[in-house]
Copies of this chain bind each other. A is one copy, B any other.
Amino acid sequence: MTATLADVARRAGVSTATVSRVLNGNYPVAGATRERVLDALAELDYVVNGPARALAASSTDVIGVIVNDVSDPFFGIQAGGLQREVAEEDLLAVICNTAGSPSEELKYLSLLLRQRVRGIVLTGGAREDAEHEAATAKLIRQAQAVGTRVVLCGRPAPAGVEAPCVVFDNEAGATALTRHVVEMGHERIGYVAGPRGNTTTTARLAGHRAALREAGIRRAASPIVHGDFSRDSGFDAAMRLSRADGDVTAIIAANDLMALGVMAALRRAGTEVPRQCSVAGFDDLPSASDCAPALTTVRLPLESGARRAGRIATGRDGAEDGDAWLGAELLVRDSVVRPGGRARRAR
């Protein structure tokens, strides 16, 4: 089939050990010998056998990243940042898409575990389900036992697991956002939450409720519907919201993608945004700033958070510094105005 180390060694007239050493450059090899080996390598189009190397050296040069939805920029940005980061260490990131399915998550986790990857980064909210959490915890512990570095990015560590976390302050961000909407004078505020039983959903919802509570807004005036973080679900949610309570003056979505869907739905229903209904999102995706009106949202340092996670996963950053808390920043743009009021230019 392909040339093996032994073939190369034979051709260069050296032992396999020597070839291995010029390949890895971790042991002195005389110039002339190295040249011969290099030539043989090239002549035979040698390609290392990854599994064999991994088996012998018991380590690989790949970092696995588990995401919920590759086509959601929220994850795309994180995956991209992580990739750039680990590439600097000459490692490769492979991204595994669970499509939001807990069982797929477990499947990929164990795939990565058995491939003995160097590190695993779990991104996005985790499912709040004791059974799934326990299963995840077990796999993570096993991974750690074989020396795989596991880091959590944007989700809490499951019970019983000791692992570095990069945490985004979803709750504080959500509180700041809702507080802003309230301060603009809204009293009937619809909320499009993420999928039930998801840690991110819960955190953002908690922040929202806290702001509502502190403003003394009645629950009945602030209907909550659930989406699944996709644009389409935001569209549907807006429909349900306006059908049930035609009188909300603002809709806050748990992420920008859904906010975009909400805006599309309102537009389609002939409701003018923001004059007749304000809209706010969360995440500050690139498209949030160039839609019309520009979306008021909360900025999460997704890219830098993911890079940080990548650095921990590759071992470049120590994990002992404790969790990395990354703050959220309220971004006031044009999609939230006083009820029935006029658009307000940002800045």
Contact = CB atoms under 8 A, between A and B. Distances in A.
B96 A142 contact: no
A231 B286 contact: yes
Nearest to A45: B142
Contact of A145 (B2, B267, B287): B2
Given A2-B142, A2-B145, A232-B290, A80 B55 contact: no
Query: In the complex this chain forms, how many copies of it are found?
Result: 2
Contacts of A15: none
A80 B75 CA distance: 14
Interface string A223-252: 000000001100100000000000000000
Interface string A93-131: 111110100001001101101111000000000000000
B99 A83 contact: yes
A340 interface: no
A99 B71 contact: no
A96 B64 CA distance: 10
Contacts of A97: 79-80, 83, 93, 95
Interface string A31-62: 00000000000000101111111110000101
How would you classify the secondary structure of chain A's contact residues: helix, strand, loop or mixed?
Answer: helix
B108 A92 contact: yes
Contacts of A83: 97, 99
Interface residues of A, number: 63
A142 B70 contact: no
A49 B93 CA distance: 20
Interface in A266-308: 267-268, 286-287, 290-292
A264 interface: yes
Interface string A136-161: 00100010011100000000000000
Interface string A68-102: 01111101110110011001000011111101000
26 contacts: A1-B145, A1-B147, A2-B142, A47-B146, A51-B55, A51-B116, A52-B55, A62-B111, A70-B75, A70-B76, A71-B73, A71-B76, A71-B79, A79-B97, A80-B97, A80-B99, A83-B99, A92-B108, A94-B95, A95-B95, A95-B96, A95-B97, A235-B290, A264-B287, A267-B292, A268-B292
